[in-house]
């Protein structure tokens, strides 16, 4: 595992230049403004990639200044002027020495850049998994994310919770990437580069977040009509927060008698064919597990906030929020949907 430390000031200045200067005012006031910039890393692989990218930028920037400067000089210095005579300039056909020089210098640059790149590739890709690392299986679906914590017995969707990693208590998370249908790609820019989820081709990646907070990502491989709304959130929790979240998620679905009507609608309609709620007869696996739906901030893979009103709209007509998504409108009466929403709201 590599820990190339990026000076905080450098990171901050990039953020200031690239994000603050261009940030658009938020239209959805209840969502925190946060740009998932690759130059604002908050996790181990993303930060070593950031270091490598600054190194590459410095080299390519230097080349640009030199070659671009020579080009600009040449076209200005050697432009045809109004008082020039009509004679042709001296004809020069080439020079072996010069050709050799501008072949060898790029080769040397390539060697340096290649060796640096290779070192980081091996450091990231071949990092051995520590025994106590958290394992999460990520399954891409059209158009949502399934997260399974096999050692903890948790199944959830679209909002990944992981513990923060500190120098005293390193806590990386290893992600095993699968797909249930077509190609997807797991990308949370501030945590790690992307890795594809390809059917019948298991992949792996890891993150080791050093800062708590909420990080945005989304599917980065076109996967069909609602690819744009296959959003992804990663909550990096303190160890205490994470332990509390795990404890909650391991419970069966809440049972409150005053919402029994909604629960019955859920279990006796087609909802149960696609969605599971632990502790009930609903065992479907085509859609997200809803055992702790109310503990999530968003619905529909981040396409809407998890409020009773949005939940109502979503159940009544999913296409109004996410046109083309695979959840059908069940043609329930408004009253039934209200009962259903009341039940789902209790699933903390």
Partner 1 sequence: MADQSIPIGGSLDAAPRERERLPLLDRLHEWVVTVDHKRLGILYVLYALFFLVVAGAEALSMRVQLAVPNNHFLPPEIYDQFFTMHGTTMVFLVGMPILFGIANYIVPLQIGARDMAFPRLNAFSFWLTAFGGILLYWSYIGGFGLYGMGNAPDVGWWAYAPLSTKPFSIGPTVDYWALALIVSGFGTLGTAINIVATTLSMRCKGMTLLRMPLFVWLMLVVSALTLITITPLTAAQVMLLLDRNLGAHFFDAQAGGSALLWIHFFWIFGHPEVYVLVLPVFGIASEIIPVFSRKAIFGYPAMVAASVGIAFVSLGVWAHHMFTVGMSSVGNTFFVLSTMMVGIPTGIKIFNWLATIWGGKVRFQTPMLFCVAFLFQFLIAGLTGIMLSVAPWDWQLHNSYFVIAHFHYVLVGAIIFNIFAAVYYWFPKVTGKMLSETLGKWHFWLFLIGFHLTFDTMHFVGILGMPRSIYTYEANRGWGTLNFIISVGAFIQGIAVLIFLWNVIVSLRKGKEAGNDPWDAWTLEWATPSPPPAYNFASDPVVHSRRPLWDIKHPDDPDWKYES
Report the C-alpha gap between 255 and 273 in whole angstroms.
20
Q: Which two tokens stand for residue 68?
A: 């671009």
Residues present in the chain in total: 348
Picking from 216, 138, 136, 234, the residue whose alpha carbon sits closest to that of residue 184 is 138
- Interface positions, 174-203, toward partner 1 (CB under 8 A): 177, 181-183, 185, 187, 189-190, 192-196, 198-201, 203
Where on the phi/psi map is residue 294: left (φ > 0), alpha (ψ -120 to 50), or beta?
alpha
* Residue selected from 226, 237, 339, 345 as contacting partner 1 according to rule CB under 8 A: 226
* Residue selected from 49, 138, 162, 175 as contacting partner 1 according to rule CB under 8 A: 49
Report the C-alpha gap between 77 and 71 in whole angstroms.
10
Q: Which CB sits closer to partner 1, 177 or 259?
A: 177
- Interface positions, 4-33, toward partner 1 (CB under 8 A): 18-19, 22-28, 31-33
Q: Which two tokens stand for residue 235?
A: 């909550």
* Residue selected from 37, 212, 241, 280 as contacting partner 1 according to rule CB under 8 A: 37
- Interface positions, 50-109, toward partner 1 (CB under 8 A): 52-53, 56-57, 59-60, 63-64, 67-68, 70-71, 74-75, 78-80, 84, 88-95, 98-99, 102-103, 106-107
Q: How crowded is residue 54: how many other Cβ atoms within 10 Å of its Cβ? A: 15
Tell me how many degrees the CA angle 301-307-313 measures, rounded to the nearest 5.
Answer: 75
Establish if 225 lies at the interface with partner 1 (CB under 8 A): yes
Q: Which CB sits closer to partner 1, 106 or 153?
A: 106
Exposure letters 180-197 (e unless 16+ CB within 10 A, then b): eebebbbbbbbbbebbbb
Tell me if residue 260 falls in helix, strand or coil. helix
- Interface positions, 288-307, toward partner 1 (CB under 8 A): none
Q: Which CB sits closer to partner 1, 9 or 29?
A: 29
Establish if 314 lies at the interface with partner 1 (CB under 8 A): no
Establish if 221 lies at the interface with partner 1 (CB under 8 A): yes
Establish if 243 lies at the interface with partner 1 (CB under 8 A): no
Cβ atoms 184, 226 nearer than 8 A: no
Furthest CA-CA distance within the chain: 99
* Residue selected from 43, 47, 48, 210 as contacting partner 1 according to rule CB under 8 A: 48
Task: Render 54-65 in DSSP notation, one character per residue.
Answer: HHHHHHHHHHHH
**Please, what is the minimum distance in Å from the beta carbon of residue 200 to partner 1?**
4
* Residue selected from 42, 44, 46, 139 as contacting partner 1 according to rule CB under 8 A: 46
Identify any residues that bridge with 159 across adjacent strands, giving them in sequence order. 233
Establish if 310 lies at the interface with partner 1 (CB under 8 A): no
Q: Which CB sits closer to partner 1, 224 or 239?
A: 224
**Please, what is the minimum distance in Å from the beta carbon of residue 96 to partner 1?**
9
**Please, what is the minimum distance in Å from the beta carbon of residue 250 to partner 1?**
31
Q: Using the Cα atoms of residue 230, residue 236, residue 242 and residue 244 in order, give the sign of their dihedral.
A: negative
- Interface positions, 105-134, toward partner 1 (CB under 8 A): 106-107, 110, 113-114, 117-118, 120-122, 124-126
Picking from 268, 271, 282, the residue whose alpha carbon sits closest to that of residue 327 is 271
Size of the site for partner 1 (CB under 8 A): 102
**Please, what is the minimum distance in Å from the beta carbon of residue 341 to partner 1?**
23
Strand 159-163 vs strand 184-186: parallel, antiparallel, or unpaired? Answer: unpaired
- Interface positions, 134-173, toward partner 1 (CB under 8 A): 142
Report the C-alpha gap between 237 and 126 in whole angstroms.
26
Q: Which CB sits closer to partner 1, 100 or 244?
A: 100
Choose the binding region for partner 1 from 4-12, 152-160, 226-234, 244-252 (rule: CB under 8 A): 226-234
Report the C-alpha gap between 145 and 255 in whole angstroms.
26
């Amino acid at each position: 595992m590599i820990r190339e430390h990026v000076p905080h000031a450098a990171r901050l200045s990039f953020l200031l230049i690239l994000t603050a200067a261009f940030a658009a005012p938020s239209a959805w006031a209840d969502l925190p403004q946060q740009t998932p910039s690759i130059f604002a890393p908050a996790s181990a692989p993303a930060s070593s990639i950031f270091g490598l990218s600054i190194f590459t930028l410095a080299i390519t920037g230097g080349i640009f200044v030199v070659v671009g400067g020579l080009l600009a000089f040449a076209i200005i210095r050697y432009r045809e002027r109004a008082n020039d005579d009509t004679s042709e300039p001296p004809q020069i056909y080439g020079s072996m020495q010069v050709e050799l020089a501008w072949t060898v210098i790029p080769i040397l640059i390539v060697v340096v850049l290649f060796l640096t790149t290779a070192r980081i590739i091996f450091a990231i890709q071949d990092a051995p998994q520590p025994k106590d690392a958290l394992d999460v299986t990520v399954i891409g679906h059209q158009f949502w994310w399934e997260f399974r914590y096999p050692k903890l017995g948790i199944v959830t969707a679209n909002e990944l919770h992981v513990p923060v990693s500190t120098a005293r208590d390193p806590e990386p998370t290893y992600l095993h990437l699968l797909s249930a249908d077509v190609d997807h790609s797991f990308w949370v820019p501030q945590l790690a580069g992307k890795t594809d989820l390809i059917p019948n081709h298991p992949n792996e990646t890891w993150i080791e977040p050093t800062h708590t907070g909420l990080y945005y990502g989304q599917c980065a491989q076109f996967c069909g009509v609602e690819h744009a709304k296959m959003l992804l959130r990663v909550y990096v929790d303190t160890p205490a927060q994470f332990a509390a979240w795990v404890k909650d998620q391991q419970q069966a679905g809440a049972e409150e008698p005053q919402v029994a009507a909604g629960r019955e609608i859920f279990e006796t309609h087609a909802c149960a064919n696609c969605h599971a709620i632990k502790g009930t007869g609903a065992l479907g696996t085509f859609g997200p597990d809803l055992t702790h739906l109310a503990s999530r901030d968003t619905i529909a893979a981040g396409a809407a906030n998890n409020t009773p009103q949005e939940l109502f709209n979503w159940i009544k007509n999913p296409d109004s929020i996410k046109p083309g998504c695979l959840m059908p409108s069940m043609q329930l009466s408004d009253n039934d949907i209200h009962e259903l929403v009341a039940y789902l709201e209790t699933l903390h």
